[in-house]
Amino acid sequence: MKSNIKLTTLLKQALTEQVDMNRVNKAYAQTVTAVKGMGTDIPAVLNSIKMLRNRDEFLEYMLKFEDKKTGYTKFPAMINAEYDRFNLADVQKIVAALRNIGVVSYAEADAGLLGSKFVKFNISWLAKPTVLSKKDRYNRKKQWLTELPKAVAFWKAWLSDPITKKRVEQNWDTWYASGKFQIKYVWPKYFDMLNKLYIKFYDSYKNNDYLVSRAYAYVLGDSIGTPTIYVNLELDDPEKYDTLVHEIQHIIYGIKPLNPEKKITNAFVTQNTKRDTPSSISASLMTSATKKLNTGMAKAKVVIASLGLDMSPEALITWKLRGQRGRPNDPDYVCRATEKMSNIMAMRNYFKLKPGQKLTLSMIKPYIEGKKQHTDIDWVLMCWAKNDFPDLNQMLNRINLLAKNNTAPRRGGPNLA
């Protein structure tokens, strides 16, 4: 009932478009017939949406569900019940049809070995589709294409560094004795990929994929065919350079990871990993200047500020929940090895670390406190929390042993995985 009142309010506020109630009634009647009895007439449901001409008519159509003739009180509930996991393409057609009349909706999906499967349909009632002007499209494309050569140059310099090669060789030899093979035979593939790298732009509303529509950019596969970074023009990424550096790592990982997956995973947790407690984390986060403070009260204030929470086990709940909720339909994503390598590369990129420099606890302290935000750092902290808070110093020491950035990057900032 509460949502119906909300819809009525929205409807009263949206007076700019004309509503043809005969058309609305006809569309709803067709929907009722489509879901009546056994089975669902999927084309008829889609066609009923296509009958509607604007957002206001869809809101009136939604209010019709109050009579429960479809068996449901809400349109999204009907879609989620009547469409199964193999109906992703059909739901995406509904998403596209709704967008054409000014309604933003999403078809959530999860990835599987046999392709993506439909999970849930949602509608953003207050949102309206973003349609870029030709000028905006041109400017965003130009910005991305300007940053691409810089990101490629960053990776070429990084891969050419002898320290990088030595670290890759050592890390692979530790597990599979294949480090020299990788340097000799796989290394040229990295450079060949970088020379061919291409950006393909898309608008998320045309793609209709829930995850892709929320990403600044993504990649598929490895070096087969033309290596491509798919860039979402609808979202204006504030840190395009960093996103490109992040995505290039995924392509490199697809060719062959710079570090064995076990090595990356072990950076976060092993059987011998120490576990942090709220008190140990707070103590380790205190700077040398803080330790010089004399009064217990001053120390206590710094301890509380270091986490932004009280000194109790509950102090870690925020990061724990973020780790659990990071990607509900793909729970392994939070700690997936290729994602962690991209996160780590972006972190080093962000902190402008030079050869021989390491990630330290003091660098990530403001992000644990919540005083600063960076998408890649957040994803590393979520994996840290999901693994029940391994000792931070131990974790960073292991991260610093990975084949990592050894050249000074241009700048840093947030990006979306």
pLDDT (0 to 100) of residue 188: 93
- Euclidean distance between CA atoms 264 and 410, whole angstroms: 25
Task: Give me the helices (H) in 36-178, please.
Answer: 42-51, 55-63, 75-82, 88-100, 134-160, 162-175
Per-residue pLDDT reduced to its tens digit, 61-96: 999 998 999 999 999 999 999 999 888 889 988 988
pLDDT (0 to 100) of residue 414: 29
Spatial neighbors of 99 by CB under 8 A, at least 6 apart, are 105, 129, 205
pLDDT (0 to 100) of residue 265: 85
DSSP 171-208: HHHHHTS-HHHIIIIIHHHHHHHHHH-EEEEE-HHHH-
- Euclidean distance between CA atoms 154 and 281, whole angstroms: 34
- Euclidean distance between CA atoms 359 and 390, whole angstroms: 16
DSSP 70-98: TS-SSHHHHHHHHS-GGGHHHHHHHHHHH
- Euclidean distance between CA atoms 30 and 275, whole angstroms: 59
Structure tokens belonging to residue 215: 């990403």
3-state class of 165 per DSSP? Answer: helix
pLDDT (0 to 100) of residue 78: 93
417 residues of the chain, pLDDT tens digit each: 344 445 555 545 544 568 889 999 999 999 999 998 778 899 999 999 999 998 889 989 999 998 999 999 999 999 999 999 888 889 988 988 898 888 888 888 776 555 678 888 988 876 677 677 889 889 999 999 999 999 999 899 889 888 888 888 888 887 777 778 888 888 999 999 999 999 999 876 665 565 677 788 888 754 456 899 999 888 888 889 988 989 999 999 888 888 888 888 888 877 777 766 555 665 555 544 444 444 443 343 333 333 433 334 444 556 777 777 777 667 788 898 888 998 988 888 888 876 567 888 888 878 876 778 888 898 998 898 888 777 778 888 888 888 643 333 222 332 222
Q: What is the phi/psi pair of residue 308, to 5°?
A: 75, 10
Work out the angle between the directed axes of helices 361-369 and 278-285 (0-180°, nearest 10): 120
pLDDT (0 to 100) of residue 207: 59
